[in-house]
Structure 1
Amino acid sequence: MTFGPASRLGVALFEETDPIEFIPGQSDDAKEAIIRAVYRQILGNAYVMESERASVPESQFKNGELSVREFVRAIAKSDLYSSRFFETTPRYRFIELNFKHFLGRTPKDLEEMRMHSDLLDNGGYEAEIDSYLDSDEYQATFGEYFVPYLRGYKTDAGISMVGFTHIFAMQRGASSSDLKGSLSGISPVLNRNVINPTPMPVVAPSAGASGDGWSFQESTTRDAGLTRLGAGAGDSGKVFRIEVTGYSSPGKVNRISKFRRSNKVYYVPFERLSDEYKRIHATGGVISSITPC
C-alpha cells in the first residue's frame, strides 16, 4: 500500500499499478484486461455499457490485427469517444482531456492549446486524435504495446511544476470520472491557468478519508468570495491572502459546501493571521493557500 502524499492526493492506485503491456502469446484473459485498461484510460474512467463497446476493434486486437496503440486510436475515433468528449464539450475542455487521456499529462502552455485548436480547425477531429498517437512523445513513452497511463504527477525532466499542480485539478482521485466527475461540468478545468501559466492549489480529492478538499473548485475570479478582515495592514504593514475550501455542514451524511463557490478568500493583517488560521480550522475549512499581498 502507498502511504504519504500519493495516498492523500488520490494517485496511490497509479503508483501501485505497473504499466500494462501487451506481450505476444498472452491469454485471452490478459487481452481482455488490456481492453478494459484502454477503456478506463481513454474514456477517463467513465462507465461503458456492453452495447457501447467497440466490438470490431476489440476482435481485431484479440486476433493480433491491431497493436495497443492502434486499438487506442480506434476507440479515440469512435462515436463513443466523440459523443462524450467532443460533441458535448467546449473546444478547450476537449483538448485538455485529450492530453490527459492519450499522453497522461496536462497541456504545458497556451501554445500547445493553440496548436491543437488550429489543428481542429484545419485538419478536423481525426487529425487532432492522430497528432497525439503519432507524436514522438507517445512513441517514446508508450510505444506500440503499452496502455497509456497517468504520469503528469511525476517529476520528470522538462516538466514544470505548473503542470504538476494542474494534473491534480484534472484527476480528482482514482474513482473520479472525466464524464461526470468534474465540479466544472463541461467547462475547461485549467482555463486561464494554462494561459498565464499559473500553478493551482493542490487539494486532496473527495476520496480522502476525512473528505478534506472534496468540494474544491478554483475561483472564477481571483477575489471570488472575498472577505476583508481589518482595514488594511496591521502594525507590521503586511497583509496575507488566505484561500479556503472544504467548508461543510456538520451533522449531515453528505458534506455539502455552505457556499455556491467552493473557495472563500480572506485578506488578513499579519497580527491576526494566527487567530484566523485557528478559526478557519475550527469551522471545518481547509486552507489551500496563504500568500503575502
Structure 2
Amino acid sequence: MTFGPASELGVGLFEDTAPFEYVPGRSEEEVESIIRAVYRQVLGNAYIMESERATVPESQFKLGQLSVREFVREIGKSEAYFSRFFTTCPRYRFIELNFKHFLGRAPNGYDEMKAHSAILDEGGWEAEVDSYLDSDEYQSAYGENFVPFYRGYKSRPGQTMVEFTHMFALARGASSSDFKGSLAGKSPLLNKNIIQGTPLAIVPPSGGAVGDGWSFREPPLSARTRQGVGAGANGTVYRIEVTGYQAAGVRNRVGRFPINSVSKFRRSNKVYLVPYEQLSQEYQRIHKQGGKIASITPVN
C-alpha cells in the first residue's frame, strides 16, 4: 500500500494497481477484469448500466478479434462516451478529458488544444477520438494490449511542471467521476491556465482535510485582488488562494444558533496578491473572516 504524498494526493491506488495487459490464454475472469478496466478508464470512472455495455465489441474482444487498443476505440466511439462527454461538455472540456482518458495525461499546452479543436471541426468527434489512439504516443505508452492508465502525475522526460500540476487538477483521486464533473461543474478545468501556460496549486482531493484547502477552485470571471500598493523591500508579491468563505445570503452561525448577519462574500473562493511585508497581517484578516488558505505562491 502506498503511503506519503501519493496517498495524500489521491493517486495511491494508481500506484498500487499494476497496468492491465491482455495476454493470450488469460482466464475468463482476467479478461473480464480487463474489460472493466477499459470501461473505468475510458468513461472516467462513471457508472455504466448493463444496457449501455458494448456487447458486440466485448464478444469480439473475448474471441480475440479485437486488441485492447481497438476495444478502447469502440468504447471511445460508443453512445455511452458520446452522451457523457461530447453532448454535455463544452469543446475544451471534451478535449482535455480525451487527453486524460486516452493518453493518461493533461494537454501539453494551448497549441495541442488548438490542434485537437481543428480535428474536431474537420472530422467530428469520432476523428478526434481516433487521433489519440492512432498516435505514436499511444503506441509507445500502451501498445496494442495495455489498458491506458494515468501517467501524467509522474515526471517524464520533456514534461513541464505546468503539465504536471494540470494533471492533478484533472485526476482528483481514484474515486472521482468525470461524468459528474468537478467543483467547477463541467466547465473546462484548464482553460485559461492552458492558454497562459501557468501551473496550478496541487491540493489534495475532497477526502483531504478542509483546513488544507482541498476545496479551492479559481473564482470564475473575477479579478484578482491586490492588497497594498506592491512589493516593498523584499521585492516579492505572493498569490494567496483562499477557500471556505460563506456565500452571500447564507446566514452565519455560532454553534447551533444563527446570528442576524450575512457574509459579505459573493463566492466561497478568492485570490489575493499580497506583498511580503503584509503577509502576516493578511493571514490574520483571512482567518478572522472564516477563510482557509489553500496555497501561497510567489508571483514575481
Structure 1 length normalisation: TM-score? Answer: 0.88
Q: Is the contact between residue 166 and residue 190 of structure 2 (CA under 8 Å) also seen in structure 1?
A: yes
The whole-number CA distance in structure 2 between the counterparts of 1:127 and 1:270 is: 50
Partner of 2:249: none
Aligned in 2, Cα 1:243/1:234: closer, same or farther, shift over 3 Å?
A: closer
TM-aligned CA deviation for residue 118 of structure 1? 0.9
Q: Is the contact between residue 241 and residue 269 of structure 2 (CA under 8 Å) also seen in structure 1?
A: yes
Superposed CA RMSD: 2.4
The whole-number CA distance in structure 2 between the counterparts of 1:37 and 1:260 is: 42
Which residue type is aligned with residue 241 of structure 2? V
Partner of 2:280: 274
TM-aligned CA deviation for residue 238 of structure 1? 4.8
Partner of 2:180: 180
Query: Aligned pair 1:81/2:81, yes or no?
Result: yes
Q: Is the contact between residue 241 and residue 291 of structure 1 (CA under 8 Å) also seen in structure 2?
A: yes
The whole-number CA distance in structure 1 between the counterparts of 2:188 and 2:232 is: 42
TM-aligned CA deviation for residue 221 of structure 1? 4.9
TM-aligned CA deviation for residue 19 of structure 1? 0.9
Aligned in 2, Cα 1:192/1:248: closer, same or farther, shift over 3 Å?
A: closer
Query: Aligned pair 1:236/2:233, yes or no?
Result: yes
Identity of aligned residues (%): 60
TM-aligned CA deviation for residue 108 of structure 1? 0.7
TM-aligned CA deviation for residue 99 of structure 1? 0.4
Partner of 1:263: 269
Query: Aligned pair 1:286/2:293, yes or no?
Result: yes
Paired residues for 1:19-168 under 5 Å: 19-168=19-168
Q: Is the contact between residue 243 and residue 291 of structure 2 (CA under 8 Å) also seen in structure 1?
A: yes
Q: Is the contact between residue 218 and residue 262 of structure 1 (CA under 8 Å) also seen in structure 2?
A: no
Aligned in 2, Cα 1:23/1:211: closer, same or farther, shift over 3 Å?
A: farther
Aligned in 2, Cα 1:71/1:263: closer, same or farther, shift over 3 Å?
A: same
TM-aligned CA deviation for residue 263 of structure 1? 2.7
Runs of 4+ more than 4 Å apart: 248-252, 278-284
TM-aligned CA deviation for residue 210 of structure 1? 5.0
The whole-number CA distance in structure 2 between the counterparts of 1:244 and 1:209 is: 16
Which residue type is aligned with residue 89 of structure 1? C
Q: Which runs of 5+ in 2 are unaligned?
A: 247-253, 257-262
Q: Is the contact between residue 245 and residue 267 of structure 2 (CA under 8 Å) also seen in structure 1?
A: no
Which residue type is aligned with residue 274 of structure 1? S
Paired residues for 1:154-233 under 5 Å: 154-209=154-209, 212-221=212-221, 223-224=223-224, 226=225, 228=227, 231-233=228-230
Q: Which runs of 5+ in 1 are unaligned?
A: 253-257
Partner of 1:255: none
Which residue type is aligned with residue 137 of structure 1? E
Which residue type is aligned with residue 12 of structure 2? A
Where 1:123 maps in the other structure, the secondary structure is: helix
Structure 2 length normalisation: TM-score? Answer: 0.86
TM-aligned CA deviation for residue 91 of structure 1? 1.0
Aligned in 2, Cα 1:200/1:31: closer, same or farther, shift over 3 Å?
A: same
Where 1:188 maps in the other structure, the secondary structure is: coil
The whole-number CA distance in structure 2 between the counterparts of 1:222 and 1:241 is: 18
Aligned in 2, Cα 1:147/1:251: closer, same or farther, shift over 3 Å?
A: farther
Partner of 1:247: 244
Where 1:48 maps in the other structure, the secondary structure is: coil
TM-aligned CA deviation for residue 82 of structure 1? 0.5
1:55-106 residue CA offsets vs partner (Å, 9 max, x unmatched): 1111111111111111100000011101111112111111110000000001
Where 1:241 maps in the other structure, the secondary structure is: strand
The whole-number CA distance in structure 1 between the counterparts of 2:220 and 2:245 is: 20
Which residue type is aligned with residue 217 of structure 1? R
Q: Is the contact between residue 247 and residue 284 of structure 1 (CA under 8 Å) also seen in structure 2?
A: yes
